[in-house]
């Protein structure tokens, strides 16, 4: 107990020492805190003082700006006043020049007045001379008047004599008037006789003028007819020449047309032969690549694949003999290598996959039977590879891309005389039973029509080696949009279900068949091909 008590006392002493050290530390921290608060207060005061100083500086700056503005206004007003003084000085100078010009004009006017005064004095002197001469003329006119009175008296005597002569002349005039009246009566009678003759003469002149005008018009018509005849003869000669030239040109054009037709026939034959050679070479290339080729497409790893992030399960060899053709799988530490005709990595796009099989689509248009088969376990990406995602152009699958290529090629081959007819059928094999996906009721995708309830579909082979399903619905199509609608209809009719790999997985095998019937109206050969995607 004593030992325990001593141990407890020692522990209490240590605790007391620690408590004192903590109290000292607490007091030091309190002092530091107070100093920090004091420094903060001083910083706040200095900040407030700086803000006040900044405010005073801004006010002084504003006052200086106002003073400078007022000084600028005063300078502006002084400049305006100086301009007005200059304008007033110029106006005074103009007024001075105007006064000088008026003074010079007044001096000239005074000179003219003095000249006019001298002229008036000269006129007065000349008028006094005229006055004296007029007085002399008046005296001479009075003398002439006296002489005129004397002449008047002599003329009066002569007038009396002339009046007697005038009476004698009047009597003679009356005699002559009587003779004139008799002669005028005779003239009237003569005029009547001559008037009749003049009327007849006028009628004759009118008739002669009419005959002359008729002759002139007829001669003019004859002249015009002669000119028309000459022009017609020239035109006939020119038409004969042009007809000969036209005939020569027609013969040349006919020969050229025959030559072009022969060339066209040769070109068409060459085109047909070239098309045959192209088909043969294309088919030879595909045969060299392999009539049956197996591609492997690796999808990206998902979170549900239960593969660690550090573990590398799949790898692709880089050796030249296995580049883009080999794949290595590692399981339980063991490496398994596989080789295919082509290996598509997870980075490969839908376009990259389609490039590898696009030549098979051309073979289908050339008349060869083509089948593309996708195989893999549930959730491996078969539906994505074949159909893609609707509404996203970059992620379209093999079937939509192949259909686009088929219809585009059909459009280009129409210029060569080819006409194609397309037929589509779609079925699924579910639990070893064939279901026609295009024979469903439109009101309900999963409900079959009444006439299709008892149908039994059978797989048959004809003599040509073609395989078909009996009683299967076949639809004529003319565009890729129609096929897309049918694909959507078939997708709603398929049997799907939830699995551990996929939320909605296809539970059946889907077969899409496109039958292509082609005929060339120019060359005549008939073409039939069947392309199948499953």
- As annotated, the binding site for ATP includes 376-383
Alpha-carbon span 313 to 309, nearest angstrom: 10
Alpha-carbon span 135 to 141, nearest angstrom: 10
Query: Phi/psi class of residue 381: alpha, beta or left (left: φ > 0; alpha: ψ in -120 to 50)?
Result: left
Alpha-carbon span 278 to 285, nearest angstrom: 10
Distances (CA, A) of 129 to 126, 134, 482: 5, 9, 135
CA nearest 393: which of 362, 349, 432, 357?
A: 349
CA nearest 345: which of 371, 378, 316?
A: 316
Alpha-carbon span 187 to 181, nearest angstrom: 10
Alpha-carbon span 199 to 51, nearest angstrom: 135
User: For 326-350, b where at least 16 C-beta lie within 10 A, e where not — what string?
Assistant: bbeeeeeeeeeeeebebbbeeebeb
Binding-site residues: 376-383
Two tokens, residue 408: 């585009």
**Contact yes or no for 403/514 (Cβ under 8 A):** yes
CA-based torsion, 356, 358, 361, 362: positive or negative: negative
Alpha-carbon span 488 to 472, nearest angstrom: 18
Helix axes 2-289, 350-366, angle to 10 degrees: 20
Please report the beta strands in 392-444, taking only residues with DSSP state E, as ranges in sequence order.
Answer: 418-430, 433-436
CA nearest 295: which of 377, 353, 364?
A: 353
Element counts in the chain: helices (H) and strands (E) = 5, 15
Alpha-carbon span 502 to 307, nearest angstrom: 17
Pairing of strands 314-315, 418-430: unpaired
């Amino acid at each position: 107990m004593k030992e325990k008590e001593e141990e407890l006392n020692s522990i209490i002493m240590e605790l007391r020492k620690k408590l004192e050290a903590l109290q000292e530390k607490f007091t030091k921290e309190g002092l530091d805190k107070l100093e920090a608060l004091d420094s903060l207060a001083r910083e706040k005061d200095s900040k407030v003082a700086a803000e006040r100083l900044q405010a005073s500086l801004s006010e002084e700056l504003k006052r200086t700006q106002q003073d400078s503005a007022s000084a600028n206004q005063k300078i502006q007003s002084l400049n305006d006043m100086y301009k007005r003084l200059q304008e007033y000085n110029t106006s005074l100078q103009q007024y001075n020049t105007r006064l000088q010009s008026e003074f010079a004009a007044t001096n000239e006017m005074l000179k003219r007045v003095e000249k006019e005064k001298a002229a008036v004095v000269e006129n007065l002197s000349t008028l006094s001379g005229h006055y004296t001469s007029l007085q002399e003329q008046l005296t001479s006119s009075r003398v002439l008047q006296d002489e005129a009175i004397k002449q008047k008296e002599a003329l009066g005597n002569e007038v009396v004599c002339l009046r007697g002569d005038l009476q004698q002349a009047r009597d003679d005039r009356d005699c002559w008037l009587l003779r004139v009246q008799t002669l005028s009566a005779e003239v009237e009678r003569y005029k009547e006789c001559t008037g009749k003759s003049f009327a007849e003469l006028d009628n004759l002149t009118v008739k002669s003028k009419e005959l002359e005008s008729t002759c002139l018009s007829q001669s003019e018509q004859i002249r015009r007819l002669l000119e028309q005849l000459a022009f017609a003869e020239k035109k006939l000669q020119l038409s004969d020449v042009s007809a000969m030239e036209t005939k020569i040109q027609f013969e040349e054009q006919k020969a050229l047309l025959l030559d072009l037709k022969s060339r066209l026939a040769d070109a068409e034959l060459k085109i047909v032969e070239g098309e045959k050679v192209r088909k043969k070479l294309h088919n030879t290339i595909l045969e060299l690549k392999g009539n049956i080729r197996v591609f492997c497409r690796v999808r990206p790893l998902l979170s549900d694949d239960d593969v660690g992030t550090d573990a590398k399960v799949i790898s692709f060899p880089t050796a030249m003999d296995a580049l883009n053709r080999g794949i290595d799988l590692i399981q339980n530490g063991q490496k398994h290598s596989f080789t295919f005709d082509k290996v598509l990595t997870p980075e490969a796009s839908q376009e990259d996959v389609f490039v590898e099989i696009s030549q098979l689509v051309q073979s289908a248009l050339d008349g060869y039977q083509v089948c593309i088969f996708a195989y893999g376990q549930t959730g491996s990406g078969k539906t994505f590879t074949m159909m893609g995602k609707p509404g996203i152009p970059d992620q379209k699958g093999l079937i939509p891309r192949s259909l686009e290529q088929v219809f585009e090629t059909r459009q280009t081959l129409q210029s060569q005389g080819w006409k194609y007819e397309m037929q589509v059928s779609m079925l699924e094999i579910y639990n070893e039973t064939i279901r026609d996906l295009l024979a469903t009721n439109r009101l309900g995708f999963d409900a079959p029509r009444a006439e299709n309830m008892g149908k039994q579909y059978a797989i048959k082979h004809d003599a040509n080696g073609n395989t078909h399903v009996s009683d299967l619905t076949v639809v004529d199509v003319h565009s890729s949009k129609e096929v897309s609608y049918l694909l959507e209809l078939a997708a709603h009719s398929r049997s799907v279900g939830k699995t551990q790999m996929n939320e909605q997985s296809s539970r059946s095998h889907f077969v899409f068949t496109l039958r292509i019937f082609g005929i060339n109206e120019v060359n005549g050969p008939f073409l039939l091909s069947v392309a199948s995607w499953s």
